[in-house]
Structure 1
Amino acid sequence: MSDIGAIVRDIAREMAAVAQRGRVADYIPPLAEVDPARFGIAVVEADGACHLAGDADMPFSIQSVSKVFSLTLALGKVGDALWQRVGREPSGSAFNSIVQLETESGIPRNPFINAGAIVVSDVVLAGHQPREAIAEILRFTRALAGDDAIFVDEHVAQAEQGTGFRNAALANYMRAFGNLRHPVEQALGVYFHQCAIAMSCRQLALAGRYLMLAGRSPATGGSVISAARARRINALMMTCGHYDGSGEFAYRVGLPGKSGVGGGILAIAPARASIAVWSPGLNERGNSEIGTIALERLVQRTGWSVFGPSY
């Protein structure tokens, strides 16, 4: 049996020595200020054992990793009817591309690109004021992690609202096709605030446990979603969770994963572990440069790839 704690500590030491760390997301001013030398990793095993190294307890902006939690909420509200408004296919395009919306009648390819996540936010918004919808997403995330210290970073949210012109274009375009049911500014408000949720690697790994445990949450003691739905969310994370770099991530890491431009990645080893890494420097496709390397090495040393162990 591998000593997971020792592996995690070794990886953190190795990542500290890597010189090429990518580039921080400087188009969102607060993210541009984050030290690219930061690195954290947390691994929560199925038996509850928690292994931490580096900056694992430092909060960071989870950005698009939040799309996993809002998707789970939206599926709980409308079930498979969601797929009439959002597809389930990889986009092959950048996360904020508008090109496919024109040819596909305002239906985003999947819920993890920005356009798809804005539709998901529109679904969560139904029956609520934006403030209530944001609070619901935050409560849900806190419950999954069992930690009420998780918060929305208002500074980040306001910065995104002030610079999110492309997201506004996506939302308006989908509204023109009738695929947003609420005013654009309301759907975007929910979306920007969910992306501004701040969590540490420890909190993020704890929040992801339900996807490791076939929909069950040790934090709440019950079922978050059905086992079938957990499996399908994991499948979407594998095929779409890293935008147009999803195939490369599957090839190198072999786990369902969801990245964010804050430098975080949530990865799931089904029935084995929920894993969170954070390093703010991004590669050319908007995914954490060092975080991806760390996950690749973790899988090599544990054999946790869903495609089988390394030989």
Structure 2
Amino acid sequence: MPLDFNAIFAEILRSIEPDRGCGKVADYIPALAAIDRMKFGMCVSLENGDTHCVGDAEERFSIQSISKVFTLSMVLRKVGDDLWKRVGREPSGSPFNSIVQLEMERGIPRNPLINAGAIVVTDHLVSDFGPAAMIDELLNRLRMLAGDPSIAVDEDVASSEASVGARNRALANFMQSFGNLHNPVEETLAAYFSHCAISMNCRQLARAALFLAFNGRDPISGKQMVTGEACRRINAVMMSCGHYDNSGDFTYRIGLPGKSGVGGGILVVSPGHGSIAVWSPGLNKAGTSHVGSLALETLVRLTGWSVFV
């Protein structure tokens, strides 16, 4: 029997209402500091191309670290398992911008979804494309997958991130000192700040990630975006590492591969069913949307989509 998403969304809205506006916006990035914490949007994208949305699902937001899922898919397509020579695939248990583990592990980031690991992934792609061409390639993939040529980098957010990017510069320089950054720091970081500043809405984001729910193949276009093996690996890393030091709790409560961003978005994949994007700007202490997590917990309860069912 098809799921009644109108009823599901109505229950989600009831369940999150007491928490609407809770959490803290990412005010350390000036361009994100003034976002309304009361905003909430959600969209589910299904194999047949149907999308079901509620709330502010058409309003664009800065996807921030969610972009790391797409750059990871690009680099695995390019270099495959060679990536794991430069970055690990273990949960960090530390904040997303921690430098402590890098020193202990001689410049090898724990996984590709923390900032240091994503900078290494970006460095791989900069070596292949160059900074500007890498961003063009990423945008072209997102536009094709989402069926929307208007997806773009928010240059104000990118500039804002660059202006307060001292910690990311420290991470990049530290990795370069161990030989784990192959391009000039500022070239790699320019590309990194740009892909984190891509602006999308929930509908576009859920649609763009649909290939991750179907073994690397976009079910609408039929295009194989990554191999089935790479898709399983991406989902595994998302499950264990997608929410930094909140990853274990997210897996416990929601039970699906996901990736959060400090812009308030969360992307979640339900293998064999579809992909889900939710946006609510108020963050918990680990940098994951507070209300977004609650909404996903209710969605999983009502659909039974947890991988552990």
Place the TM-score, normalised by the shorter chain, in its bin: over 0.9
- Match runs of 1:268-279 below 5 Å: 268-279=269-280
* 1:146 positional shift: 1.7
**Aligned partner letter, 1:137:** L
What residue in structure 1 maps to residue 152 of structure 2? 151
**Aligned partner letter, 2:303:** T
SS of the equivalent of 1:217 reads: coil
**Aligned partner letter, 1:236:** V
* 1:30 positional shift: 1.1
* 1:195 positional shift: 0.1
Contact 2:266–2:279, Cα closer than 8 Å, also in 1: yes
What residue in structure 2 maps to residue 210 of structure 1? 211
Deviation string, structure 1 residues 61-91 (Cα, Å, up to 9, x no partner): 0000000000000111111100000100000
Are residues 1:288 and 2:289 paired?
yes
Deviation string, structure 1 residues 90-147 (Cα, Å, up to 9, x no partner): 0010000000111111000000000000000001111433111111111111122121
Structure 2 spans left out of the alignment, 5+ residues? none
Contact 2:62–2:263, Cα closer than 8 Å, also in 1: yes
Q: RMSD of the TM alignment (CA)?
A: 1.2
Residues in 2 aligned to 1:223 and 1:125: alpha-carbon distance in whole angstroms: 23
Would you say how many aligned residue pairs link Structure 1 and Structure 2?
A: 308
Q: Cα distance 1:220–1:46, how it changes in 2: closer, same or farther (>3 A)? A: closer
Are residues 1:76 and 2:87 paired?
no
TM-score by length of 2: 0.97
Residues in 2 aligned to 1:73 and 1:271: alpha-carbon distance in whole angstroms: 22
- Match runs of 1:116-131 below 5 Å: 116-131=117-132
Q: Percent identity?
A: 58
Residues in 2 aligned to 1:146 and 1:32: alpha-carbon distance in whole angstroms: 30
Are residues 1:25 and 2:23 paired?
no
What residue in structure 2 maps to residue 245 of structure 1? 246
What residue in structure 2 maps to residue 46 of structure 1? 47
Residues in 2 aligned to 1:191 and 1:13: alpha-carbon distance in whole angstroms: 38
What residue in structure 2 maps to residue 221 of structure 1? 222
Residues in 2 aligned to 1:148 and 1:237: alpha-carbon distance in whole angstroms: 27
Contact 2:15–2:298, Cα closer than 8 Å, also in 1: no
| Structure 1 residue runs of 4 or more that deviate by more than 6 Å after TM superposition | none
Contact 1:16–1:37, Cα closer than 8 Å, also in 2: no
SS of the equivalent of 1:41 reads: strand
TM-score by length of 1: 0.96
Instruction: Answer with 130-139 or 156-165: which moved more.
Output: 130-139
Residues in 1 aligned to 2:137 and 2:14: alpha-carbon distance in whole angstroms: 38
Deviation string, structure 1 residues 174-232 (Cα, Å, up to 9, x no partner): 00000000000001001000000000000000011000111111354311111111111
Contact 2:161–2:193, Cα closer than 8 Å, also in 1: yes
Structure 1 spans left out of the alignment, 5+ residues? none
What residue in structure 1 maps to residue 142 of structure 2? 141
Contact 1:210–1:224, Cα closer than 8 Å, also in 2: yes
Residues in 2 aligned to 1:227 and 1:254: alpha-carbon distance in whole angstroms: 21
Contact 2:20–2:37, Cα closer than 8 Å, also in 1: no
* 1:17 positional shift: 4.3
- Match runs of 1:107-122 below 5 Å: 107-122=108-123
* 1:294 positional shift: 0.2
SS of the equivalent of 2:116 reads: helix
What residue in structure 1 maps to residue 94 of structure 2? 93
Q: Cα distance 1:282–1:233, how it changes in 2: closer, same or farther (>3 A)? A: same
* 1:13 positional shift: 4.7
Instruction: Answer with 224-233 or 238-247: which moved more.
Output: 224-233
